[in-house]
Structure 1
Amino acid sequence: MTDSIRNADVLIIGGGLSGTMLAVQLLRRPGQRRILVIEPRAELGRGEAYSAVELGHTLNGNAARMSVDPDNADDLTQWLTDYIAAGGWPQAHQQRVPISELFPPRGIFGLYAQQRLAQAQALSASTVEHVRGEVVDVQVDEAATLLTLDNGQQLRGAFAVLATGMFPAARTPQTESSGLNAAAVDPWDVSSMTQIDPQASVLIIGSGLTMVDAVVSLELAGHRGPIEVFSRHGLLPHVRRQPPAWVDFLAEDPSLRSPRQLLREVRRQCRIAQAQGIDWQAPLDTVRAHIGRLWSQASERQKRQFVRHVRPWWESHHHRSPPLSAQLVARLHEAGRLRIQAASYKGLEPSVDGVCIRVRYRGEQAITRVRGAALINSSGIEYDWRRVARPLPQQLLKRGLIRPGPLALGIAADAGGAVVDSQGQVSSRLFAMGPPLRGLWWESTAVTDVALQAKALASKLTPTL
């Protein structure tokens, strides 16, 4: 353990997109301050989502929807225009659509975030430093926060921000491990998939966007055999299209408050759109701006009803697939190579050759055993921090510095991101942003959501600095 403690004004725990956007917003604030970003990866700005190296792993939103600048919705489009003109991403020209409608590869988006951080730092009196390591403990008192890293180093700051991003189920150790991840192939690891017999059957648990990525990975690896997908409801993500503008019906009718009222009105608006020959995605896309308000004013019972009965359909309709990936999934499905089956995963079976899983098909009581050459866990994101077997979440819970958020989605916090501890006290030193606030806002993972949170939090922290 080091003897000295490094000091800073703000300690950002996590250097993926969330932490990087907060750093950019702090750099843009007037004044001079020291910011330390603690991130185990070699680069800031990429995190779990944007470390992808394959061009086939793209954003699920087009450039016009993915700006990291909350004050300029065209920021990514403008950056991408210059990047392509300079010779980057030559494959973009094959798509023959305006740059604003392109779905950039995630690796290129990570480069965009990095360059925006570098530009902000060049123009700022403040400094950002990348401290490479993993935070394993946090202590908070009235005067400061103290972080301990996995190498024993300690950092002290006036404020600490949990910008930990998402915990993908496929890569996150679980407190009650079933051994699934140990037996499964990483959904984004194309090189590992080249070791699978290209004609053999591959089993996938989950049918959301991670499954779409897994299918893309298999295709890139040269797999040409059958793919069996199992999920409770058997729903696929819809393809994201570019619908025309639609009237903001929620802004015009403040009486629509409950999830049931919202669902009924969204369906009505979609029927109206379709009757006029307009894509049903047009009215659905207007709901996005109101989700935080609607979720926060819903009762606990209404939230549970939404999660239990509506969530699978919300996810498949709202979290849509990029067009090229969706085309691949549709082509394999139509050819009979990819099958989507409504079934619940019930565990692994010992197997000397390949893998064997237990599933229960919808409408049946019996457990069925299914065999394949390989298994992929595409069951999405783990939002319950109590189940994440990482040092930081476990230590925060042990110290009582955090408590689970509504419905165990992320952690509890106030509307400004100040963390609520196990006794219900709102911290003046420890904050959170992005995916950890899923339970507070329901949608707290999209780039635009996190960008707005980063700007608001930077404004909240800097006056006291």
Structure 2
Amino acid sequence: MSAEHKGPDADILIVGGGLSGTMLAVQLLRLPGQRRIVIVESRSELGRGEAYSATELGHTLNGNAARMSVDPDDVDDLTRWLTDYIAAGGWPESDQQQVPVAELFPPRGIFGLYVQQRLAEARLIGERCGSTVEHVRGEVTDLQTNAAGLRLTLASGEHLTGRFGVLATGMFAAARTPQRDSNALNAAAVDPWDVNAMGQLDPQGRVLIIGSGLTMVDAVVSLEQAGHRGPIDVFSRHGLLPHVRRQPPTWPDFLAADLNIRSTRQLVRALREQCARAAEQGIDWQAPLDTVRVHIPRLWSQASDLQRRQFVRHVRPWWESHHHRSPPPSAHLLDRLIDEGRLNIHAASLLSVGSAEAGQISISVRYRGQDKATTESGAALINSTGIQYDWRRVDRALPRNLLARGLIQPGPLALGIAADAGGAVMDAEGRVSTRLYAMGPPLRGLWWESTAVTDVALQAKALAARLAAVSNVPS
């Protein structure tokens, strides 16, 4: 690429071409001005990333179409696209959900098609203004900054230069991410989304799953689609399952009406009061809970580190199970398996993973309320512990090198990386970069909720405006 340009290879280099990086490119292409955008992504397709590369129809979004638009200015964007897609013969299985299109929970693979189409449309808009986007397939292993911009090093040994860079690395799924000092689980485990691998298991064998969140839900769906019909035992510290997502009526925004609610204790008390009022009126408790979502960035950012730690330690498991809910089709599957006695949920902590012998793998767990360890064995083990947000534990070249160079520092509570409110990355000395930015899951510590489609869409729009302003100024 460098030979084609006298200056840098790009005005804006985006590291990662999943949802975050692709939506940032979409927003940049829609803005006036000429800019060269390069997305470095190891996958063959943009717009999918870890979450939307799923190919099984059973792996669906955990939000209905009306909640999952990638356009922050048009909440019905996905609903209209999905309506047209179904009318053209796509996803014929959608009629099994027997609800209006806005209430459908589309497969994640189909959602990836939607994102890709929006990128294709944005490319055409950008061309009219002279803006371009290019996909360079590769893995970024290192990054250096200087007064003029930044330089990326790829695993191939190639280099790319740009005036500005964005870390849109997406989520580090624990099941697919090498982690320092904790790789034994992954070495012994089956990928939660690998239906083909699960098809090779004994269909009647006992499967052990570590973690009981939404990754576990995906794993159970994968097992079912692979033809597994044996017992499944799930182990997590609190033994909490995600609640099923329903479609409750609207509820007054009680947090907007009372800005004095600031601490975790105040929030929990007020939310319980609101849920009790809803119950008295025969309204689903999810209605008042759903009003909290828009206030989480404000509440989290204004909280002290002590209050954040209290939330993570005492409230997080219940927040996750109540807020990050399961799509109805998947929840119905879990309910059926529980009723059949095939799926059992245990409150227990994983202590160690044993070796696989004679087609069996063993783990050591400590059940809640017990002091002694118990050994459990099964035909297969699945790591469903969710997302690794602590970049210090991610054993990949880019996080290691960025931390070693002092170009980044861990975010609050070691969640993601530190940045200012506009996404400009902070280095190890607390200096705010004028060249390097971040968005999406890397900003978990800054906003707490920074992974959902709506979070990413809003961040993409705001960061695109900021980048457009600085990139229009000559270096």
TM-score tier after normalising by the smaller chain length: over 0.9
User: 1:427 is matched with which residue?
Assistant: 433
Output the CA distance in 1 between the equivalents of 2:194 and 2:415.
28
Is contact 1:356-1:371 (8 Å) kept?
A: yes
User: 1:20 is matched with which residue?
Assistant: 22
After superposition, where does 1:59-208 map in structure 2 within 5 Å? Answer: 59-124=61-126, 125=129, 126-208=131-213
| Secondary structure of the structure 1 residue equivalent to 2:78 | helix
User: 1:380 is matched with which residue?
Assistant: 386
User: 1:367 is matched with which residue?
Assistant: 373
Deviations 1:255-291 (A, max 9, x none): 1111110010001100100110000000000000000
Is contact 1:178-1:347 (8 Å) kept?
A: no
| Secondary structure of the structure 2 residue equivalent to 1:340 | strand
Shift, 1:352, TM fit: 1.2
Is contact 2:140-2:154 (8 Å) kept?
A: yes
Output the CA distance in 2 between the equivalents of 1:205 and 1:72.
38
Aligned length: 465
- TM-score (ref. length: structure 1): 0.99
Query: Structure 1: any 5+ residue segments left out of the alignment?
Result: none
Is contact 1:165-1:436 (8 Å) kept?
A: yes
Shift, 1:142, TM fit: 1.8
Shift, 1:3, TM fit: 8.6
Output the CA distance in 1 between the equivalents of 2:356 and 2:308.
41
Shift, 1:214, TM fit: 0.3
Pick aligned residue for 2:40 from 38, 63, 66 = 38
Output the CA distance in 2 between the equivalents of 1:273 and 1:187.
37
Output the CA distance in 2 between the equivalents of 1:276 and 1:10.
52
User: 2:218 is matched with which residue?
Assistant: 213
- For the pair 1:290 / 2:295, whether they are aligned, the reply is yes
Is contact 1:4-1:154 (8 Å) kept?
A: no
User: 1:394 is matched with which residue?
Assistant: 400
Is contact 1:2-1:152 (8 Å) kept?
A: no
Output the CA distance in 1 between the equivalents of 2:427 and 2:270.
37
User: 2:313 is matched with which residue?
Assistant: 308
Q: Amino acid of the residue matched to residue 194 of structure 1?
A: G
State the identity as a percent: 72
Pick aligned residue for 2:423 from 412, 417, 426 = 417
Query: Structure 2: any 5+ residue segments left out of the alignment?
Result: none
Q: Amino acid of the residue matched to residue 223 of structure 1?
A: H
Q: Amino acid of the residue matched to residue 324 of structure 2?
A: H
Output the CA distance in 2 between the equivalents of 1:206 and 1:298.
28
Deviations 1:165-224 (A, max 9, x none): 000000000111341111100000000001111111000000000000000000000000
Deviations 1:346-373 (A, max 9, x none): 1111231220000000011101000000
After superposition, where does 1:285-364 map in structure 2 within 5 Å? Answer: 285-353=290-358, 354-364=360-370
User: 2:50 is matched with which residue?
Assistant: 48
User: 1:462 is matched with which residue?
Assistant: 468
Is contact 1:62-1:102 (8 Å) kept?
A: yes
Is contact 2:188-2:356 (8 Å) kept?
A: no
Is contact 2:361-2:380 (8 Å) kept?
A: yes
Shift, 1:4, TM fit: 8.7
Is contact 1:359-1:370 (8 Å) kept?
A: yes
Q: CA RMSD, aligned part only?
A: 1.2
Q: Amino acid of the residue matched to residue 44 of structure 2?
A: A
Output the CA distance in 2 between the equivalents of 1:232 and 1:171.
21
Q: Relative to structure 2, which stretch is displaced further, 206-215 or 86-95?
A: 86-95
Output the CA distance in 2 between the equivalents of 1:4 and 1:408.
41
Deviations 1:400-423 (A, max 9, x none): 000000000000000000000001
User: 1:234 is matched with which residue?
Assistant: 239
Q: Amino acid of the residue matched to residue 88 of structure 1?
A: G
Q: Amino acid of the residue matched to residue 281 of structure 2?
A: Q
Is contact 2:168-2:438 (8 Å) kept?
A: yes
| Secondary structure of the structure 2 residue equivalent to 1:123 | helix
Shift, 1:94, TM fit: 2.2
Is contact 2:178-2:396 (8 Å) kept?
A: yes
Q: Amino acid of the residue matched to residue 168 of structure 2?
A: A
- TM-score (ref. length: structure 2): 0.97
Is contact 1:144-1:156 (8 Å) kept?
A: yes
| Secondary structure of the structure 2 residue equivalent to 1:429 | strand
Deviations 1:238-266 (A, max 9, x none): 00000000000000011111111001000
Shift, 1:7, TM fit: 1.2
Q: Amino acid of the residue matched to residue 453 of structure 2?
A: V
- For the pair 1:269 / 2:268, whether they are aligned, the reply is no
User: 2:450 is matched with which residue?
Assistant: 444
Deviations 1:274-314 (A, max 9, x none): 11000000000000000000001111100000000000000
Output the CA distance in 1 between the equivalents of 2:335 and 2:52.
25
